[in-house]
Amino acid sequence: MVYKRSSALFAEAEKVIPGGVNSPVRAFKGVGGTPIFVKEAKGAYLYDEDDNRLIDYINSWGPMILGHAYEPVVNSVIDKAKKGTSFGMPTEIETEIAQLAVSMVPNIDKIRFVNSGTEACMSAVRLARGFTGKDKIIKFAGCYHGHSDSFLIQAGSGASTFGTPNSPGVTQGTAKDTLLAKYNDIENVKEIIEANKDEIACIIIEPVAGNMGCIPPKSGFLEGLRKLCDEHQVLLILDEVMTGFRLAKGGAQELLGIQADIVCFGKVIGGGLPVGAFAARNEIMNHLAPLGPVYQAGTLSGNPLAMAAGLAMLTELNNDSDIFKRLAEKTEYLHKGIAEVLNINNIVHTINRTGSMISVHFDEGAVVDFDTASNGNNDTFKKFFHGMLNQGVYIAPSAFETWFITDALTYDDLDFTINAVNDVAKSL
């Protein structure tokens, strides 16, 4: 495929945008080459500025669960835009989507809308600290909760020590309150809690990790976290920015049978527009201003266009009793097909999958945390990525990202993808 116009547009973008992109992974630094500039999208397909058609497996990193330019969502945004795009005042549609979200998700009474997953997670942690009166948090290596200072922390020297900033601009003072644990390792979490007794406000986790590839929780791991939180008066925050309204109507809480104290949302809940949200039971949410002392605000929070898109999306998902079954079946079909052709071509690999999230790791060992995800052969992944791109299939330009399946994908699309994997595998 030819990407002359994309290359030219990237060169122009680099002059006025840092790195030529507004989010780093888009720059293709993890795979090399020049980013693809999208002109439009419909259903399961992207159309770039060079008029190439690509089958899309990132789907705006998750929200396009029903496909790009999904008509009910698009029409709802158009209709709402004609009546005004922003007011900074309450609107009825905010209550409508809040009522629907609360009815779909278990264990929540109230929800507060913000503008991104980063805002949702940042606000959830502040609320947890305000509710518990404690300062420290536990997060997991490899889990991404946005670019708020508290989350940009790398490992310290041991379980009893605090982490260190992994980005300039994050202070040591912030880092000292963030403790880093190993995903899927409940004993490691126990050690950290024991070393920081009565100081931990919350544990925040992706219930199914999506930022080190798709990594499901081991059996008993989330249940173990829930038990530890109950024993030590720690709030459990599930970051369902990726999994919420994707793995089930009620997200990972419903699918995995785990009750969170606070849940964070993004992606699907906005129908493709910038939306995030966090939710909890009344006693926690009532600590938020204007009811309580924990402050959080945003001029564009509850923006009518975003609320219209989100309401249309959630309504479609709520009314389709088979949607999550279809998505899981398509993902399983893709998993089996890719595994078969990689095995035929003697390519060492591991595939992880939960619901409509899937990732291919070029390593023979089980991928259960950030360390094992890092064992994959990145050179092989780079060749795989560009090979798939040349075949007309767009996957995440990073070995540390999940793929997202959309209901717009047909089985012909899946077969095309499997055949593309077979062709690429022969050259790996």
Catalytic residues: 144, 239, 267
Please enumerate in sequence order all residues whose Cβ is within 8 A of that of 35, keeping only pairs 6 or more positions apart, or say none: 6, 10, 20, 21, 26, 27, 28, 397
Secondary structure (3-state) at 276 = strand
Cis peptide before 290 (omega within 30 of 0): yes
Place of tokens 């930022």: 211
Measure the CA–CA gap between 310 and 77, rounded to whole angstroms. 9
Q: How many CB atoms are located within 10 Å of the residue 286 CB?
A: 14
* Residue spans of alpha helices (H) in 17-91: 71-81
Tokens encoding 112: 């507060």
Nearest-5° angle of CA 279, CA 284, CA 287? 110
Q: Which letter, b or e, does each residue of 27-40 get, where b requires 16 or more Cβ atoms within 10 Å of its Cβ?
A: bbebbebbbbbbee
End-to-end Cα separation, the chain, in angstroms = 19
Tokens encoding 233: 């008066």
Measure the CA–CA gap between 352 and 206, rounded to whole angstroms. 15
Measure the CA–CA gap between 121 and 225, rounded to whole angstroms. 18
Tokens encoding 1: 């495929």
Beta sheet of 53-56, edge-to-edge order: 38-42, 45-48, 53-56, 393-394
The C-alpha torsion from 251 through 62 and 26 to 368, rounded to 10°, is 40
Please enumerate in sequence order all residues whose Cβ is within 8 A of that of 324, keeping only pairs 6 or more positions apart, or say none: 247, 248, 249, 355, 356
